[in-house]
Structure formats: structure tokens, C-alpha cells
Amino acid sequence: MSETAGDAKSEVKQASKEVKESENVAEKYSAMTVSRNSEINMGELSSVFSAVPTHKPVKKQIQFVEEKQEFSRFPTKTGRRSLSRSISQSSTDSYCSAASYTDSSDDETSPRDKTQVNSKGSSDFCVKNIKQAEFGRREIEIAEQDMSALISLRKRAQSEKPLAGAKIVGCTHITAQTAVLIETLVALGAQCRWTACNIYSTQNEVAAALAERGVAAFAWKGESEDDFWWCIDRCVNTEGWQPNMILDDGGDLTHWVYKKYPNVFKKIRGIVEESVTGVHRLYQLSKAGKLCVPAMNVNDSVTKQKFDNLYCCRESILDGLKRTTDVMFGGKQVVVCGYGEVGKGCSAALKALGAVVYVTEIDPICALQACMDGFRVVKLNEVIRLVDVIITCTGNKNVVTREQLDRMKNGCIVCNMGHSNTEIDVASLRTPELTWERVRSQVDHVIWPDGKRVILLAEGRLLNLSCSTVPTFVLSITATTQALALIELYNAPEGRYKQDVYLLPKKMDEYVASLHLATFDAHLTELTDEQAKYLGLNKNGPFKPNYYRY
Amino acid sequence: MAKEKNHIGGSWEDLAVPEYFPEPYTEERAEEEEEDTEEAARDGAVKCSPTLLRMLKAAESRWTPRDRDKAEPSKLGRKVSEAEALKTNMKIQLNDQQEEFNKLPTKAGPRPLSHSVSQSSADSFSSVGSVSSEDESPPQKKLQKTSKGLTDFCIKNIKQAAFGRKEIDIAQQEMPALMILRKRAGGEKPLAGAKVAGCTHITAHTAVLIETLAALGAQCRWAACNIFSTQNSVAAALAEGGISVFAWKGESEDDFLWCIDRCVAADSWEPNLILDDGGDLTQWMYKKYPSLFKKLKGIVEESVTGIYRLYQLSKAGKLCAPAMNVNDSVTKQKFDSIYCCKESILDGLKRTTDVMFGGKQVVVCGYGEVGKGCCAALKGLGAVIYVTEVDPICALQACMDGLRVVTLSEVIRHADLVITCTGNKDVVTREHFDRMRSGCIVCNMGHSNTEIDLASLRTSELKWHRVRPQVDHIIWPDGKRVVLLAEGRLLNLSCSTVPSFVLSVTAATQALALIELYNAPAGRYKQDVYLLPKKMDEYVASLHLPMFDAHVTELTDEQAQYLSISKHGPFKPNYYRY
């Protein structure tokens, strides 16, 4: 494990330097190739691909990291994966947008073995290299620009210190964006100890900057499985400091505290969990009657759900397809399998670019919605011969089967926006008569004996995770939701929350949304007293009944 | 997973429940779902939930040949109705006013609490006129007899039956879902033994519903829920078909209650189901026939007002039968608000003002379902849209949909068009009016007539000038004109028609709710107000898919197992937002 990690790191380091520099260049290139495209022969896709040399290193790095991550996660999470219908964008993948590119020193000794002291003399942290703090600070400042919601939360609540006395242990991706969250919590009065929820996602310089500011951060990029648990343990287990809140992403920290420190666990005032996996674990605990503290499921809040699925996918489907294939959408026949939130987003985006969109659905209500939105609802088999692009977002398995792949026309693009890698039956394509040809990272041509090619993206894994980035705005929504959930749990009067898993109250959800309105320069109308009375509402919300569907 | 979903649903409901909307059904929903899963198999086997495939086949065979036949009559019908609609604007308005007047005494209280007005409930009548005969003697006094000798009904003129039958035939073309339902049930009679007392608008569309219920084995007695909305010819056709109908156009308040009473109190006939729209029938039975009321198997209520009454009864512990709130079913809600308004906003504005939308600056107040529909439609025509909103979540949705969120005062000076759909009151005030530019069009898509502060415009310095029915020019002393549509009442009710597709969704939902209540095993429903089970909701949607020639994909066994849901639904957890 540690060996491969080492290998990966050096490669990552090299490649990641190119990321920042070449990203723009690459975009320019791809823009150029599109225009060149029209002069060349549209049929010869491979010649177009070779015209974009700068893409390769960039993509390779991202892909590499992700594969490793999946590998390292599997032992602990395979079982539960299949149960999570939707994957939280911000949870699973904040790391892929922000790679750490100042990777430290050639110093290869494990951070665990080093003695580290920040400029104020504190040594209660463990990061790769504390000297990178200044650089990380700049990263955090950049992130602050895009996360104005948290900054305005700081301003609004700074005087009250709603988290005064809160001792929060956190386990999330450690990136510039989460750093903004952590420092917001500190500004609101909390004491924080933090660790990484993923062994590859940590931005070392950000961790250093946090440590420099006095947050006890235990994380570095490329931890081993052993390091990972050691960090979590150091986070929880300190003298004279007992956590009373948990902020978790993935449930590992909660699990650790529950198993190893049952006494600490009992005294926790609340758990905030972000990921689908973690939420599932909490529900299991709660069902077994072993959850002795209230927990908040922030994954299913209205705002976060809409941003993770509808809005995020609406953008990333285009981004992902463009980056990988440079396809032009106008007039293309696209079939979108599934018309849930993700499907709605994809269909809307593609329709806007002039694609002819077909929808397949199993749920008659969603099917009727698709009809009313002007999409043809068909079965995949009816249109499989005609379509140029197939996008799966059902959350189901084997939606596109070998039989259907056999009937596709030459050049059809197949990708998955839905759920892990089950939707496309990729295994059935690994047969000797089919030739696989990797034309660039994340793009495979599968070639039939008769010369037909099908273009498979990201090997059937999630396109939006593999081939596009998560916008900071989405991360900001998540971070704000987490912060508010912590405040709510910490300040709730006794008895409001029992030992169960809760959804974020609608009022908090509305508050998250309202903090983000400033970004759009949106001006909210306020109810007059009279109007509020007429509607039987409080002037400050909640504005909708719980069953409202938005 | 299914269980986990339940759990999420459960704890979600545990959270703050809004005070203004009674909560009772929440726990029941969870329970209901549990029971549903238990009984899913049974449901699948018995009556109304065949495999989708089978249903689709039935639907196709029914629909394809008919489509060809349909072309001619429907074209004709449309022409007539369009021509009439323009001419009859005035009349419709009159009805509407009177209706409001007539309803006010009974409904003023609950109204403000209803956030959305059900399109199909409030106004199925506005799309259909009715030919009235010259005979002015009150129908109660007349001796009436059908060709088959039935005398247990009371309508205007039985001789109009043939004409009414034609109306119903046309309506049948427009409501294929019910026809599919009839055909599907075919041999089985899921409502055999059901005695349904109904109180709805009596129009060709409801006639199709009533006859569907009869075809499914129910015995029906029917009264009108509105004194002006009855189509006499349709009532005649129903009576001729053997259904006891008590309704005519232009009843007095006394007549109205007399009809309801006749409907309930028949010799040797005790209703066991109620289908109500507005709650009047329920109220009457509860007050006058408490012994009958106690024996009811279920109540299906469509209107917001009626549901509010039911919740009050239930809160007071006086509801002694399960009631089904069909107004809030997913399919119906979506059709009543978003899809219906998306079309009627354009229709209503075009009919009244002939405005061209491209490049116009439009302010839409409120970004709920109705607001979303209006914005989508206007954006499609190239209008520049601003949104005002009080709820930050909806405001953020508007932002992400590319609309500017502003306060009304900011943009009122350059708005060409102001549309209110908040469900609130005094959203557009006199002060806003004073600052509007000349020619600005103001209309209301939201809720009754409270959104625009009309009273403030009835001052001596402003001149009102009616330029055509439903369109008033209000002229300021300096010559500025503001165009006010439908006097601030609902534009979509006053100036456009409700598509029969929407009525079809409502009728299908009602029919399925009745079937569900009647066939539910004892104990599934207690004495409370319920939402339509998701499975039924999905079934309503699936009945309408053949009209789009939409082909729903079927899960393989393996896939169903992977998702841990039944192949035939319900497909989504209760908290799913669509």
C-alpha cells in the first residue's frame, strides 16, 4: 500500500504542476480543434484526438488519483456502495477539483515521525510540512472569494459566537474549501480538531496553514491505511480535550469514536454527517438502537440535493462530454436513461444546445413529467440504432447491456452520470472479439470485428467525477449546510432532538439558500406583517410546509 | 433500502411541522407505506394494478384506431369552443362573479389558508357553456321521467339528453385515461356494491367520470357543487343513462341544498362513499345525517376548501370515516399548477391583450409551481424575466434557472408586465401602481383576487375604462394607463380555458381514490385525512402516458432486486420531490 502510494505521489506531483498551467492552454487547444474539426473529416475521430496533446498529462493525473482512491476505499466501502442511490458530489469528490500542487519537499520521512512546531509553539498537529503554511493561506484566501456564504455567516454571527464551547472533531476532505469551513467554525467560537476522510485528497499546504492558525490538523496527502486511523485517533484522543460534536464525511470518524471511545461517544451532543454512506451507517446504528446521540443528515437537505444533482449535473454533463470527446451537440440524437434530478438536469442542458433528446423511464410520474417537458419517452431498444450519445442516470444496474451495445451505430458515445459503475454492463464488453483502444485518458474506443466503434467514457464510471470538476459554489452550499447543522445541533434546546437521525430543519435549509443569494445579487422580498398574518407564516420562515416539493 | 427510506421519511416528518397546515396525515403516510409494501403483492394481483405492459397494450389498442376517428369531430368541437370562448367572456365573468358571491358566505373563512387553488376543481365549468331552455318553471315541481321509466332525478329538461350524450361522447375522446380504466377493469367490478354520493361540477367531463364509476360497478347519485356550472344537457344525458342526478344551471341556494339532500336521502339507498368538491355534501351529511355519516367507508375530497374542512373535522375528532385528499397528489398538483399555468399564462394574455412577449420586461411575483410555469413559458418566447420571492430556497432556484431575483419596487418602473402568483395579499400596491410606466399590464395567476390591491385603485382621480371584457384601462390624471386584467381575479380562470387533459388527470385521480378507499382492507385507513398512496399516483400518471405515445421501460427482475423496489412500483420513497 505505502509503496504504491509513494509511486503515485511522485507522479502526481509532476503531473499536478501541469494542471494549473496547462488547464487554460488545453481549453484553448480544444477550442481550436473544434474549429479545425469542421474542415477535417468528421468521421475520423482519432485524428482529432491526436491533435490535442496537452490534454493527456492533465487527464492522466486526475484519473490516476481517482483510481487509487477507489482502490483504497474498496476494502471498507464496497458493501455499502450499492445501497447509496445518489452520490453526493461535494462529499465524494471535492478533492478532484483542487489538487495539491506544491507538494512538499523531497523529504520522504513520514510526518508521524517528525516533530513539528508552528510559529506559536504549538505542536499539536501533524502535517506534511508546516513551512507551506503561507502558501496554503493564499489558497484559502482564494477559496474565500468563492465562498461568500460562509464569510457572511461569520460576519452575521461573530458577535454571538453560537458555537462557543463547542469542541468539534471533524473528518472531511482537507482542501481550501473545507479550510474555509473550519475557520468559520473557529470564528464562531468552536475548538476544532481535524483529520482527512480520504488518504489522497488532502492539500498539504492547506493543512499546514490550518495548523499554523492553531487548528489541530492531522492529515497529509498519501497517508497509508494505518496513518489514516492513526490520524483519526490522534484527533479524538487528547488529554484535557473531549469532543462534543462530530462533523463527519463517510462515517469513519463516527465509527471510530463509537467503537474505541464509547464513553466519549455518549457525551457527544450531535453528529453531522454528509455522505450517503455515512448516513446509511447512522441509520443502521439508529435502527439497532445503538445511536445514543442525535445525528443530522445534511445530505438530503433540499438545497444541497438540488445543487448536487440537478444544477451540478446540468453543467458537468456538457463539460464532461466536451472535455473528453469534443462532441458538438446541435442536432445530435441523445438518449437519457432516467428522468430523476440528474436526468432532468442533463436533458435540460442538452436540449438547450439543440440536441434531440429521448428519455427512458420506469416511473410513470417522472415519465409524464418528461412528456410535459417535451421529451419523447421511449424504450432504449426503440432508439438504440439511431442515437449518437447515451447517458445513463438511473441509479440502477445493467441499463445498457451488451445486446444494446451491439446494436449501436458507429461512433456512439456511451457514458454514465448516475451511480458508481453499474449502469453500463462494461464487463460484457471484455470479450476477445472486441478490441479496446484507449484514445486518451477516460476515453476508450471499443471496436467490433466489423469495424464499428463505440466510445465509452470513464470506463462506465461516473463521468462528472472523472472528467469534470465540482464547482466551488456547490462546495460552498455543502459547507454552509454543515456549519448550520452544527450550530443547530449545538444550540437546540434539550429534547428537540432525540437519539435519531434528522434532516436539517427547513428553516436552516432556507438560511443556507439565503446566504448564497448575495452571489447572484438577488434581492429577497420581505413579507409585511399583514401578509405574514394572511398566510399564517412567520415573517422569517419557514415558508413552506414540509411536504412541499420545490 | 426500502426500510431505510421509510426511516428517512419518518424522521423528516418528525421535524418542525408548519402550524398552518394540519399534520395528521404525516404519520399515517409512513404507516401507509409500510402497509403498502406488505400489500404490494396483493395489489398487484387484484384489480387495478396490472403489469404496466398489459396496461399499455390495452391502452394502445384502445387509442390508436380511435385517434383516426377523432380527427374530425374534435376539430369541429375546437372551432366552436374557441369562437364561443371569445364571445362568452362576458358571460363567464358574470358566472364567476356570482359564484364568488354565492360561495363567499360559506367559504370566506377557510379560503385564506388555501395556498393553491385547484384548477380543475374551481373551474371546470368555465370552459363549457350550456344551452338553456326557455322553460322557466322550477325543475323540482315538474314530473320527470326517462325513457326507461326512471323518475328518481331532477334536472332541467330530459329531452336534451341526446344532445348531452354527444357532449359526453366528445369528452370521452379527451379523457382516454378513464376509458382505459374502464376497459382495463373490464370484467372485474372494483366498485361493485359501492354507493357513491357525489357533489361536483356537472359537466361533460365529470359525466365521463360518473359513468366510469358506474361502469366499475358503483351506484351513483349526484348533485352539483356549484349553482351555475351545470350543463343541463349533460345532466339530462346522465339521468337518461339511469343515474340519479339532481342539478340544473341557475339553482338558488335553497335548490342547491335541496339537491344535495335528495342526493343523500333516498329510500333504501345509503351512500357508503362520498366524492365531494368543496365539502358541501360532506358538511350536509355530517350535520343532517350523522347516522349515515358514521357508516361511510370513505370520503374523497378534491378542493382545497373541502380539505381544510376535513382537517378541521379530523382535528376535532369528529371525522368518522377515512378521507382522501386527492388535491395534493403529485400528478394532480403538477398538472394543476405548473403545466396548466405554463400554457394558460400565454393564452390568457394573448386573448385579452394581444401582447407580443419577445423582449418585454416581465416581473413574476413568486417562484412556486405556478411561478415556475409562467417563467418557463415567457422565457420560451424571449421575454426578459425578473422574479420576486420571499422564500430563499425558491429564490435560489430562480437564480440557478437564470432569472434575476429582485424586489418589486426595484424594477416596477421598467416593467411591461407584472404577474402575481404568490398566494399572498397586497403584493402589488397602489404605490407600485403609481410608479408603473404607461401601458404596463397587471394580472394575477395566484390566488383569488387578493394579490393586487384593487381597492386602492377605486379612487376618484383614477378613471376606469373597460376596453373589452376582462380588460380595464386605469387612467391616471397625467394620462398614464395601466392595463388591468380580469379585475385582479385569476387570469387563468377568467380569460383562458382549462385543458381537458388536466380535467382527465383529476378525474382519474378521483376514481382511483374511490377504488382505493373502497377496496382497502379494514384497518389500512383510519379516521383521518390521507394522501393518495404513491402507487395510485403513479397509476394515474401511467394511465395518461398513452396519449403521448410514451413507452415506459420495465425493470428486469434483477434490476428491481438491485434497487430493492417492486417491479410495478411504487418507485420512489415518499419524500421524493419530483
At A122 the pLDDT is 87
What distance in Å separates the CA atoms of residue B343 and residue B467, rounded to the nearest whole number? 24
Contact A501 B11 (CB under 8 A): yes
Contact A368 B545 (CB under 8 A): yes
What distance in Å separates the CA atoms of residue B385 and residue B378, rounded to the nearest whole number? 8
SS3 B129: coil
The answer, yes or no, to whether the previous bond of A542 is cis (omega within 30 of 0) is yes
Tens digits of residue pLDDT in B76-96: 334 333 333 333 333 333 333
Highest mean pLDDT among B108-122, B180-194, B286-300: B286-300
What distance in Å separates the CA atoms of residue A107 and residue A101, rounded to the nearest whole number? 16
Tens digits of residue pLDDT in A481-500: 999 999 999 999 988 999 99
Highest mean pLDDT among A2-16, A443-457, B248-262: A443-457
At A58 the pLDDT is 35
CA distance A46 to chain B (A): 35
What distance in Å separates the CA atoms of residue B212 and residue B100, rounded to the nearest whole number? 30
At B136 the pLDDT is 63
Contact B545 A377 (CB under 8 A): yes
At A11 the pLDDT is 41
pLDDT above 70 coverage of chain A, percent: 80
At A106 the pLDDT is 52
Which secondary structure element, helix H or strand E, spans residue A376, and what is its range?
strand A376-377
What distance in Å separates the CA atoms of residue A228 and residue A383, rounded to the nearest whole number? 48
- In A, residues 245-304, which contact B (CB 8 Å cutoff)? 280, 283, 286-287, 297, 300, 302-303
- In B, residues 43-62, which contact A (CB 8 Å cutoff)? 52
CA distance B380 to chain A (A): 11
Tens digits of residue pLDDT in A231-260: 999 999 988 899 999 999 999 999 999 999
What distance in Å separates the CA atoms of residue B168 and residue B231, rounded to the nearest whole number? 11
Tens digits of residue pLDDT in B191-218: 999 999 999 999 999 999 999 999 999 9
At B102 the pLDDT is 37
Question: Which range among A150-159, A327-336, A465-474, B400-409 shows the weakest confidence by mean pLDDT?
Answer: A465-474
CA distance B256 to chain A (A): 31
What distance in Å separates the CA atoms of residue B252 and residue B269, rounded to the nearest whole number? 26
Is B569 in the A-facing interface, judged by CB distances under 8 Å?
A: yes
CA distance A62 to chain B (A): 28
Question: Which range among A308-312, A413-417, B211-215 shows the weakest confidence by mean pLDDT?
Answer: A308-312
Contact residues, chain B, for A506 at CB < 8 Å: 15-16
Contact A545 B18 (CB under 8 A): yes
Contact B539 A364 (CB under 8 A): yes
C-alpha grid cell, residue B70 = 377523432
Concatenated DSSP letters of A309-356: IIIHHHHHHHHHHHHHH----TT-EEEEE--SHHHHHHHHHHHHTT-E
Q: Of A302, A362, A541, which is closest to B555 when you measure between CB atoms?
A: A362
pLDDT at A549 over 90: no
Residue A436 main-chain phi, psi, to 5 deg: -100, 135
Give how far Cα B43 sits from Cα of A254, A523, B36, B193, Å: 41, 50, 9, 19
At B84 the pLDDT is 36
pLDDT at A3 over 60: no
At B310 the pLDDT is 92
Query: Which residues, in sequence order, are CB contacts of A111 under 8 Å at separation 6+?
Result: A126, A127, A128, A220
pTM of the model: 0.76
Contact A531 B578 (CB under 8 A): no
**Alpha-carbon dihedral B37, B41, B43, B44, rounded to 10 degrees:** 130
The mean per-residue pLDDT over the stretch B86-114 comes to 35
pLDDT at B119 over 80: no
DSSP letter (8 states) at residue A416: E
At A107 the pLDDT is 60
Tens digits of residue pLDDT in A293-304: 999 999 888 998
Question: Which range among B21-30, B381-390, B561-570 shows the weakest confidence by mean pLDDT?
Answer: B21-30
The residue in chain B having the minimum alpha-carbon distance to the alpha carbon of residue A367 is B552
At B454 the pLDDT is 92
Which secondary structure element, helix H or strand E, spans residue A180, and what is its range?
helix A176-187
- In B, residues 483-542, which contact A (CB 8 Å cutoff)? 537-539, 541-542
pLDDT band (50, 70, 90) for residue B150: confident
DSSP letter (8 states) at residue A504: P
Is A196 in the B-facing interface, judged by CB distances under 8 Å?
A: no
pLDDT band (50, 70, 90) for residue A80: very low
pLDDT band (50, 70, 90) for residue B443: very high
Tens digits of residue pLDDT in B481-521: 999 999 999 898 788 888 888 899 999 999 999 999 999 99
pLDDT at B43 over 80: no
At A453 the pLDDT is 96
Query: Which residues, in sequence order, are CB contacts of B54 under 8 Å at separation 6+?
Result: none
Residue by residue, what is the 3-state secondary structure of B162-184?
HHHHHHHHHHHHHCHHHHHHHHH
At A233 the pLDDT is 94
- In A, residues 447-506, which contact B (CB 8 Å cutoff)? 500-503, 505-506
What distance in Å separates the CA atoms of residue B286 and residue B269, rounded to the nearest whole number? 17
The mean per-residue pLDDT over the stretch B124-134 comes to 44
CA distance A399 to chain B (A): 8
The mean per-residue pLDDT over the stretch A95-109 comes to 50
SS3 A132: helix
Give Cα B335 to chain centroid, integer Å: 9
Residue pairs spanning A and B at CB distance below 8 A: 221
Burial B261-284 (b: 16+ CB within 10 A, else e): bbbbbeeeeebbbbbbbbbbbbbb
Highest mean pLDDT among A141-155, B38-52, B128-142: A141-155
What distance in Å separates the CA atoms of residue A208 and residue A212, rounded to the nearest whole number? 6
At B573 the pLDDT is 84
The residue in chain B having the minimum alpha-carbon distance to the alpha carbon of residue A303 is B393
Query: Which residues, in sequence order, are CB contacts of A235 under 8 Å at separation 6+?
Result: A169, A170, A171, A193, A194, A195, A216, A218, A253
Question: Which range among A53-62, A358-367, B143-152 shows the weakest confidence by mean pLDDT?
Answer: A53-62
The DSSP bridge pattern shows strands B384-388 and B404-405 to be parallel
Cross-strand partners of B486: none
Is A510 in the B-facing interface, judged by CB distances under 8 Å?
A: yes
Contact A367 B425 (CB under 8 A): no
Question: Which range among A347-356, B124-133, B480-489, B537-546 shows the weakest confidence by mean pLDDT?
Answer: B124-133
Contact A287 B7 (CB under 8 A): yes
The mean per-residue pLDDT over the stretch A116-144 comes to 91
Query: Which residues, in sequence order, are CB contacts of B551 under 8 Å at separation 6+?
Result: A377, A378, A379, A382, B56, B545
Question: Which range among A140-149, A527-536, B38-47, B272-281 shows the weakest confidence by mean pLDDT?
Answer: B38-47
Tens digits of residue pLDDT in B430-442: 999 999 999 999 9
Contact residues, chain A, for B400 at CB < 8 Å: 306, 311
pLDDT band (50, 70, 90) for residue A89: low
pLDDT above 70 coverage of chain B, percent: 76
The residue in chain B having the minimum alpha-carbon distance to the alpha carbon of residue A500 is B11
pLDDT at B569 over 90: no
Is A517 in the B-facing interface, judged by CB distances under 8 Å?
A: yes
Instruction: Give which of A173, A87, A178 is closest to A464, Cα–Cα.
Output: A87
pLDDT at A5 over 60: no
Is A398 in the B-facing interface, judged by CB distances under 8 Å?
A: yes
The interface predicted TM-score of the complex, written ipTM, equals 0.76
What distance in Å separates the CA atoms of residue A331 and residue A341, rounded to the nearest whole number? 24
Contact B406 A522 (CB under 8 A): yes
At B242 the pLDDT is 92
- In A, residues 65-124, which contact B (CB 8 Å cutoff)? 82-83, 85
Residue B514 near residue A341, CB atoms below 8 Å: no
